[in-house]
Amino acid sequence: MSIGGFIHDEIPSEEVDRIEAAYGPLAEAVRELVDATIRTTVPPEEADLALAEIEAVVKRLRAQQLPGPAGVRFNSEGRAWNWGNAVVGLRNAIAPPLDIVHVESGLAHASVTLGAAYEGPPGLVHGGVTALLLDHLMGETAAASFTRITFTGTLTMVYRRGTPLGPLRLDARIDREEGRKVWVVASIGDEEGPTVEAEGVFIIPRWAT
């Protein structure tokens, strides 16, 4: 059963915990592998060996798998999980993952440390990666502690200076609301202050009001 694309998946919460306890660490190991694949300087022959081993692991994992993307799922106990999300997905090695703290409805922040896999200009975070993380944080903030559904309408980023790789902080808050429109302001930066500032207009769909 699917409601607005969200999938009712009747896995008991206890089993969800067990899966997360196994696949969370696996995704973490894959994140390390992504980093090592970029930074290693061992001879190409070692890459060939690694390739064969990785392909064997992939084959075993693919022996039984979902036909498509993971989607967002929930069970009757009120538990929800979005393991595949590109920013916060526990099982997605592309996601840093971002650990978001919702201080109150419409106010959130996150801390993250970005390594070699998120590079754009030399030594700096890819400008598009800052947009990726900000978009997600702002969307969750607009959703006011998950009490409503919102979609991104427009998003504007102002790049103040380069964002260094390493530990970063993100902040977002609802600035104002008018009818079905929610304005969110946000920033990402290092200990010296914001490097990128963003404003977004998020829309509450008519069918959800």
Residues 96, 206: Cα–Cα separation, whole Å: 33
Residues 188, 196: Cα–Cα separation, whole Å: 5
Residues 116-145 contacting a copy of itself, CB under 8 A: 116-124, 126-129, 131-136, 139
Among 75, 105, 145, 152, binds a copy of itself (CB under 8 A): 152
- For the bound state, the minimum distance from the C-beta of residue 49 to a copy of itself, rounded and expressed in Å, comes to 8
Say which residues have a Cβ less than 8 Å from residue 98's Cβ, sequence separation at least 6.
Answer: 87, 88, 110, 112, 133, 136, 137, 170
Among 8, 10, 13, 26, binds a copy of itself (CB under 8 A): 26
Quick check: 205 binds a copy of itself (CB under 8 A)?
no
Among candidate residues 77, 81, 116, the one with its CA nearest the CA of residue 96 = 116
Quick check: 104 binds a copy of itself (CB under 8 A)?
no
Among candidate residues 147, 197, 149, the one with its CA nearest the CA of residue 170 = 197
Among 155, 169, 177, 190, binds a copy of itself (CB under 8 A): 155
- For the bound state, the minimum distance from the C-beta of residue 67 to a copy of itself, rounded and expressed in Å, comes to 8
- For the bound state, the minimum distance from the C-beta of residue 124 to a copy of itself, rounded and expressed in Å, comes to 8
